[in-house]
Copies of this chain bind each other. A is one copy, B any other.
Amino acid sequence: MSLESEIVSNLQRVRAAGRELGLCSSEVKNRALTRLAGALRSSHGAILAANARDLEQARAQGVRASFLERMTLSAARIEAIAVSVEQVAALPDPVGEVIAGWRRPNGLEITQVRVPIGTIAVVYESRPNVTVEAAVLALKAGNGAVLRGGKESLATNRLLAELTAAAMEQAGAPPGALFFVPTPDREVIQILKRSTGLVDLIIPRGGAALKEALAGSEVPVLPHFDGVCHVYVDRSADLAKAEEICFNAKCSRPSVCNAMENLLVHADVAQSFLPQLAARMAHRVELRGCPRTLGILSGARAASEQDWDTEYLDLILSIKVVDSLEEAIDFIARHGSGLADAIVTEDLCAASRFEHEVDSATVYVNASTRFTDGFEFGFGAETGISTNRLHARGPMGLRELTTYKYVIRGSGQVRI
């Protein structure tokens, strides 16, 4: 059997079983999750052994250390995964939620009800926890799930997927709704891209290579890509708050999409604020700046035009002095990626204009951009952060893995 026909026949199986899963009660789905948490704990020896085999092979193939670190499991990490599965079980079931309802003049009663999307494919790199997270979130929302993880963690991922399917079966949920692709061939991604009618949505979790591999997909993709985030320190900012927020936005975890890359400072406070911030960041962050910044911070080097559009994902910060709120808003419209941007201000009018005019998924007043995250938003589970404008925008929870249908109840009405 060719790879394509093998994948297609599995996708058909997922479609049929997914339809069943979409009709399962919350009780059955939650029972499956609770059993999975138990299985993760009781099988932790086998999981660690599979992970050790993956690591050994990856090391032999010269995979770099930071990558190895991300694919490494420990007893503590497995426990953390089990806890997160239990947290998802505790979340309200999005399926069946009534979003809206109204009665028409002719007596028709229209109800808008949340239902699963169908089949969701998650394409990810080699972090084994994503296998469990993605499966659990898709399944709680009643969707069939197709998981295609990186080749380095194949043994670990396969075992985790088997444990998940077994837990579903024991709980009375159809295990066929979960399909872990056992062939980590890059061609699989190409097959998924053209599987319209069998896959309803592809969610990528990874970097630039994945973005490129998914270009031209016929199946809709919910991207989670660049984050060029800004903090604007207004003329009326409380500079102590500004320092804390900027330090947190840049330094608490520079490698993630919601970290600050560009700092904008109003000219009226630049002279006092920039040296204060530079002292706080001293020896940790490389500072690049516009000419006026360089006049204040002797330690900074000149920023190029390209710097303003770059997601460093590193301890580098570009700084620009601006003359007005408008200039800051325009700069963000031109250079931001529309993910997360913040203003630090004590001026109500400036805060309100910034909220209104900055068109980003998450717009902050006096808080760090680092809060752009499903857990921090209280969604209880990490489905990813959408940089799309359609369907879902910003941090995604279980609801964003659903769609809706309208149920219309009548008593014989016909259209005139």
Contacts and interface: CB of A to CB of B under 8 A. Distances in A.
Interface of A: 19, 22-23, 102, 104, 108, 110, 115, 117-118, 200-201, 216, 218, 220, 238, 241, 244-245, 247-249, 252, 333, 351, 355-357, 359-368, 370-371, 376-378, 389-391, 393-395, 403-415
Contact of A102 (B117, B216, B378): B378
Contact of A371 (B108, B245, B333): B108
25 contacts: A22-B359, A104-B376, A104-B378, A108-B371, A115-B359, A117-B389, A200-B389, A238-B412, A248-B414, A249-B414, A252-B414, A355-B407, A361-B405, A363-B408, A364-B410, A365-B407, A366-B411, A367-B414, A368-B415, A370-B415, A371-B408, A389-B403, A390-B390, A393-B403, A394-B405
A224 to B, nearest CB: 15
Contacts of A244: 412, 414
Contacts of A408: 362-365, 367, 371
A393 B412 CA distance: 24
Nearest to A248: B414
A201 B390 contact: yes
Contacts of A117: 389-390
Q: How many identical chains are in the complex? A: 2
B366 A410 contact: yes
A22 B329 CA distance: 15
Contacts of A247: 414
Contacts of A357: 23
Contact of A414 (B220, B245, B394, B403): B245
Given A371-B408, A389-B403, 4 more contacts: A247-B414, A367-B412, A367-B414, A391-B391
B389 A393 contact: no
A365 B110 contact: no
A408 B376 CA distance: 11
Contacts of A406: 361-363, 377, 394-395
B361 A413 contact: no
Contact of A200 (B216, B370, B390): B390
Contacts of A378: 102, 104, 110
Contacts of A351: 409
Given A362-B405, A390-B200, A410 B367 contact: yes
A18 B102 CA distance: 33
A22 B389 CA distance: 15
A146 to B, nearest CB: 16
Query: Which of A104, A351, A361, A414 has most chain B Cβ within 10 Å?
Result: A414
Contacts of A365: 407-410
A230 to B, nearest CB: 14
Contacts of A248: 414-415
Nearest to A402: B389
B245 A367 contact: no
Nearest to A360: B405
